[in-house]
Structures are given as C-alpha cells and as structure tokens.
A and B are shown apart, each in its own frame.
Chain A
Amino acid sequence: MDNLFWIFISALLINNFVLAYFLGLCPFLGVSGKLDTAFRLGLATTFVLLITALCAWFLNTYVLIYAPYLDLISFIVVIASTVQFIEMLIKKFSPTLFRALGIFLPLITTNCAILFLAISATNRGYGLAEGLVFALGAGIGFTLAMVLLAGLREEAELSDVPALIKGTAMNLIIAGILSMAFMGFAGLFSST
C-alpha cells in the first residue's frame, strides 16, 4: 500500500512527467496556452494514460513474454487502436464528452508521455494496480503542470515580455522556474 502511495506521489509531484521528464512538452508548447484547453487536454491525457497502463499490463502479461522484441511496435499499435476504439464509443454515447475531450484523443496517442508510461511500467515490472496508480499519478501530475503552465502563460501574455524572448523561449523559462519550484517536493514521503 505504501508502495502504491509513493508511486502515485512520485509520478504526481517528485518526478512530474512534464517538469522532470520533459514528457508531453509538444502539447504544452504547441497547443494553445489557453487554460481551458490545457485542462481538457490534461484530463484526456490522464484517460489515455490509464488505458495505456491497462494495455501495457495486458501485453506484458500475455503477449510480450513470448516476443519481448515486439514491445515498442505492439505498444504503439495496441494503444493507438484502443484509444481510437474508445474515441468511437465516446462519440457514439456521449457527444458532450466527445466535444470536451474527444478532439484531443488522436493528438495524444502519439504523445511521448504515453509511450514512456508503457515502457517504464514494463521496465520497472509494475503489476496492474501499480501500473494504474502510476498512470493516475502521472496523468494528474501532467494535468497539474499543464494547468499551472497555461495559467502562467495566459498571464504572461499581459506582461511586457521582451520581443526577443516571447514565445517558446519564454515558455521554456516559465517551465524551468516551475520545475525548480517542484524540486521542493523531492524526498516527499520517502522518509516515512
């Protein structure tokens, strides 16, 4: 139980996917810095991460023990098609939810955070529960970072940021300072 808790905290704060592992930066830098978009993207990513954890566990347990060399390809294919399938389901049964989250789904399946989760869950030998908790922590952490960054970016829009630094450079530096602030979480709950 302790272990699950730490996996969660670690993925959420200490080793935040965006701020410590640089994962999912493309959506951060590329997709608009609007708060609302960032939040929905975060939720959709959390959702896909959970599916990824399930898929990865399934593949690791039943398929890859026979063909470990196919891990990369099978992760990509299985995750992409599962998400596609779920996207269709959502579209059919809840158009509202689809409008809110669905448009992000195809964007996310090729996100490096997804692949990273599958690979590191495999490397660390996580079971199903651990994988899901890992995905949940990573997803919420991703959402947290995205929402904080989007809020900061929106605010920075109103600032006199020098023209030379406006844009990606500024966004990276904001992320850098936030990443510095997240260093305060290092060692959290590891001594208990």
Chain B
Amino acid sequence: MTEKDPNLLLQHAPLLQQGMTTPQAMRDVLYALLPVTLAAVWFFGLGAILVLLASIAGAALTEWTFASQEKGGESLLDGTALLTGLLLGLTLPPGLPLWMAFLGGAVSIGLGKVIWGGLGHNLFNPALVGRAFLLATFPIAMTTWAPLTGADGFFTVQPSNLALPFMQSGTDAVTSATPLGLMKFEQQSTPLVNLIIGNTAGSLGETSGLLLIAGGIYLWMRRDLDWRIPVSILITVMIFSAILDMVDSTRFPDPLFSVFSGGMLLGSIYMATDPVTSPITPKGAWIFGVGVGLLVVLIRAFGGLPEGMMYSILLMNAATPLIDRYTQPRVFGRGKALT
C-alpha cells in the first residue's frame, strides 16, 4: 500500500487496445514479400538485387530528405518508404537501368507521398505512381524484358542495368517477351505451370504466382489485408475472362492464364489492398475490387497495352473518395431502422 498518492495520469478510456500497430502491419507486408523477392533474385540473378536496392534507395533517400526532417527523422522508421521502394522495385523489369529505378523510387515517395503530407494522406498508391511515371517517361526501357538467367547465371548483371545516369542503355540487350505480350501480340499462350512457378519473363516480382499467393495468405491470417479486394478482383477477372474466352479463345486467354499472368496477383494482393488508397468501407472494397477487375480486363483485352493492372488500380484509387462517400454504412437506427 502506497500511502503517497501516485501522480495519476488522466489518459482517456479506452485503455485497452488490440495488439496490432501500423508499423507492425507494414513489416508484415515486408515479410510476406520476402519469398517473392528471393524468387526474383533466383530467376533474374544479381541484377535483380541491384534494381531493388536502387529503387529502395531512391524511396528511402527521398523520404529522409523531405519527410523525415520535419518529423524528427522518424517517418523513415515506420518502414513505409522501404515497403514502397520494394513494391516499386518488384514491378520493374530486370534489365532496367539502375538510375531509372532510383528515379522511380524518388518519384514514388516525392509525388506519391511527400507532397500529400506523408503516410496516410496520399490518395494514390505511391509505388504505382512511381511506376506509372517510369512507364510514361521511359516506355522502351520499361517494356524491355531481360530473359531469365537460370540457375548457373546467378551472377549475371544485365549490361543495361549499368547505363549511366540520364543516358540510354545503349547496347541492344537480349530480350524476351512476357506471357501477356506473347498473348496479346502473337496469340501465344504460356503453360500455366510456368506462370505458377514463375520461370517466365516479366517484372521482378510478378512472375511467381505461388509465392505471391502464399504471402497473401500470410497477410490474411495476420489480418493485415482486406481479403475482399483481392477476392473481388480475381473473381471479376475470372468471370470476364471466361466470357471473352468463350467468345474468341484465340484472342482472349482463359481465366486462369489471366489470373496468373502479369501483375495481376502482385497488384491485387499487395497494391490494390494498400489501405490508404482503397475504400475504407466493406461495401466500398467490393466495388473497388470489381472496378479494378473490370478495368484490367478491358485494358488487357481491348486496350493498346498488354498489361493494365497498374492503371486499373490507379484509376480506382482516383475513384476511392467517391466510393467511400457513397458506401457509408447506414448508421445504426437511421434509414430503414423502423421495422
């Protein structure tokens, strides 16, 4: 018994809290992406590490320069800049010049986050802002896909990786086509097994369907992920691909191909679910997912580009404030309450 009164705090209730914190959730996403990252290095060699590091460096440096100084250097510690850099890196082609990856990371954080006021305030997914910027800025470099290096080529670094800043990659690299590119421009399908394992050409982190799904399940189990978004995206894509495939199976791929090819899984599990830029209401999450699914099929099937995941998510990001506004749940006891 203390006779002396403790100096009582007056912190408001509730004093209890559930365990999860925001930085922890961000770390979970990093853990979930770890296998995918390792797979990227396995498939594309050392160059993959360089590209990922460059984009992370660009993101972290920008965060440190602009955001951290005002807020006491702490915002770098919440891990979001690291996550943005990694996510961007995973969407880049293996042979991308490192300076472009760095620039992309900087734009992701600069245009995608800092100017909005930092974490939680941005309305577009920062990694995708960075990627959209890169794709619009360097369309050729961003659609030049270095081939798989294979097991014995671990130490390969694409010559194009090492282009001097602001300079073209110069030498004509060996390139290969992504499964989606093959489908769209040459009506060639890729075996589903390869898509699931990931030994196809493509962006660093998008090839291995299996690992992407595994990471998604981990996040779902940790309750870090709004499962409605990936589920609604994938179901929508499957349904519409199936319909198109029935109409003309030479031009339009089958549903499973659609789901496992390109950035579909990476985008729907790790990017569309970015809580900051997706609707907050459960109903909104469904609408968002269906919207992304419809747009991606529209762009892939009828657009000029083989892949549309990034644009679909960005477009639905733009619609998110509207979705949120019109899917506010009915407040308890209001509306049709009197039954």
Q: List 25 A-B contacts (CB under 8 A).
A: A148-B322, A152-B123, A152-B318, A155-B123, A159-B122, A159-B123, A160-B117, A162-B114, A170-B115, A173-B111, A174-B123, A177-B129, A177-B314, A180-B129, A180-B136, A181-B132, A183-B136, A183-B311, A184-B305, A184-B308, A184-B310, A184-B314, A188-B299, A188-B303, A191-B302
**SS of B interface (majority):** helix
Tell me which residues from 145 to 170 in chain A have a Cβ below 8 Å from any Cβ of chain B.
Answer: 147-148, 151-152, 154-156, 158-162, 165, 170
Q: Write out the residue numbers on chain A whose beta carbons fall within 8 Å of the beta carbon of B122.
A: 159
Interface residues on B, range: 20 to 34
Tell me if B240 counts as interface (CB < 8 A to partner A).
no
Residue numbers of A with Cβ under 8 A of B are: 35, 147-148, 151-152, 154-156, 158-162, 165, 170, 173-174, 177-178, 180-192
B115 to A162, Cβ gap below 8 A? Answer: yes
- In the assembly, what is the distance between CA of A165 and CA of B110, in Å? 12
How far is B314's CA from A182's CA once the two chains are assembled, in angstroms?
9
Chain B residues with a Cβ under 8 A of chain A: 111, 114-118, 121-124, 129, 132-133, 136, 295, 298-299, 302-305, 308, 310-312, 314-315, 317-322, 325
Query: Which residues of A sit under 8 angstroms from B320, Cβ to Cβ?
Result: 155
Q: Report B-chain residues with C-beta under 8 Å of the C-beta of A161.
A: 115-117, 121
Q: Tell me whether A148 and B124 are in contact (CB under 8 A).
A: no
The 5 residue pairs across chains A and B that have the minimum distance between CB atoms: A187-B304, A184-B311, A160-B117, A159-B121, A181-B314
A185 touches B111 (CB 8 A): no
Q: How far is it, in angstroms, between the C-alpha of A170 and the C-alpha of B122 when the chains are bound?
A: 12
- Give the residue name and chain of the A residue nearest to B322 (CB): A151
- Nearest neighbor of A174 in chain B, beta-carbon distance: B123
The answer to whether residues A147 and B303 also contact, given A177-B124, A180-B314, A184-B308 and a CB cut-off of 8 A, is: no
Q: How many angstroms from the CA of A155 to the CA of B315 in the assembled complex?
A: 15
With both beta carbons as reference points, the residue of chain B lying nearest to A153 in the complex is identified as: B321
Specify which of B114, B116, B310 lies most central, judged by the most chain A CB atoms within 10 Å of its CB: B116
Closest Cβ of chain B to A163, distance in Å, is 10
- Inter-subunit contact A181/B311 (CB<8 Å): yes
Could you say which residues of chain A place their CB within 8 Å of the CB of B117?
159-162
